[in-house]
Amino acid sequence: MRETTETYELCASLLDLGANGGQPREWLTDEHPGVRGCAALAPALADDPQAVKVLTRLCVAPRAFDRSLGYGLDPASPALPYFAGPPRWTLIAAACARVSDLRDLDQGARMALPRAFRTALCPDFEPYLRAVFPQGWPTASVDATTTQRTIACHVAERDELWQAEGETRTRVLRALELPVERAAWLELVKGPRRSVAEYSAADIVVLEGKMAIRCRPTIYVGVDRTHPEMPRRLFENLLDAHAEAVAEGRIDGYHLTIDSDACAVLTVDGVALSVDRGPGTWSPEFTNMFTSCHWCRYEEAEQLCRMSAFCSTVSAETWYDGRRYAQDFADMAAIGPVRPTGPAEGKGYRAVLELDTEWLPPGTAVPRGLDSRPHVTDLRPPT
């Protein structure tokens, strides 16, 4: 297993190779997202379908790509000087310029929405708008493509984009010859409707991994993203499921420690998450807990899986058979592979959960009063 510094050096070498006309195709399947992304960014692979697929998939977890190269973690990373700003900006621009099937941009665009219109150049979201609306706004709603309607729906429905200061938003949209009024985006979404016979498989976008949970919370959590009870529902479901697991003997115990308004730590004793790949599986159980959607054997694991879908980052560890292992995640994707961290006694796992306060509405916080329940400690000063 490569050390972190070795990975950063490899990423820098791949970026340098690509800048000099190389085709680092053999690195497109590396287990490290930074390595895959740096290989795929090579200009010589601009028309390579596998490289383009790597880019669009990494766009679904843009902050994971940032962190995989040390951005925000290690300013000395030799890969960072190759990027003018967060590495995700280069990733998004390349994916949007190279992709042929615009449906492949849908999930990346969803993840970029919270950072849309924050700066004058809008590097997180402008490339998606430019790719999907290359000729500006459709002359009539009947002329809009399925992808244009889908992206318009994402933009129109996100209240935060229209409640914020509009100067930057107006400048970006006008530069792309797109409407600056929300009503126009809503109108494009609404009609005209096609008949059922006019729809085909080309109109279907499959949400991968935890994106299904994040984008359709009413199905999995029971309330919408903007519902004021969303954070409380997430934490109460998590605690209820673990209390039941103790009562039924599946785990020995659990504890939730609330460190801040956005951060909580769940520790579970008596059961571990395997770091070994099972037969016919791509990822270990440990990794799947924080990246996948439909694998959990018991309700307590299912609720932790759902909780992590609304986290910007998760730092997790598990211990069993005398060894301890760790892995870090961002945007529901692994930042790097599982790594052994030393000896350990017993078995269990721990997850440091950082709520995604960009995706969730402004002011979202771990709810107060949870420490009235057993096995919960709230370290925040009283209000």
Domains belonging to the chain, first-starting first, are: 4-206 (no CATH), 213-378 (3.30.565.10)
Answer whether 313's CB lies under 8 Å from 301's CB.
no
For 291-336, write each residue's pLDDT tens digit: 987 667 789 999 999 999 999 999 999 999 999 999 999 999 999 9
Contact of 333 with 354, CB cutoff 8 Å: no
Instruction: Examine the pLDDT at 370 and tell me if it is beyond 70.
Output: yes
> Which residue matches tokens 């795929």?
40
What's residue 143's pLDDT? 81
Contact 261, 231 (CB under 8 A): no
| Residue in 262, 263, 264 with CA at minimum distance from that of residue 362 | 262
pLDDT number for residue 270? 97
pLDDT at residue 129 in the model: 97
Tokens standing for 24? 């680092």
* Predicted confidence (pLDDT) at residue 156 exceeds the cutoff of 70: yes
**How many Cβ atoms sit within 10 Å of the Cβ of residue 195?**
6
Q: Are the C-beta atoms of 107 and 60 separated by less than 8 Å?
A: yes
The pLDDT value recorded for residue 294 is 63
Q: Which residues have CB under 8 Å from 371's CB, separation 6+?
A: 258, 377, 378
What's this model's pTM, rounded to 2 decimal places? 0.93
pLDDT of 203 strictly over 90:
no
Which residues touch 24 (CB under 8 Å, ≥6 apart)? Answer: 14, 17, 18, 38, 39, 42, 45
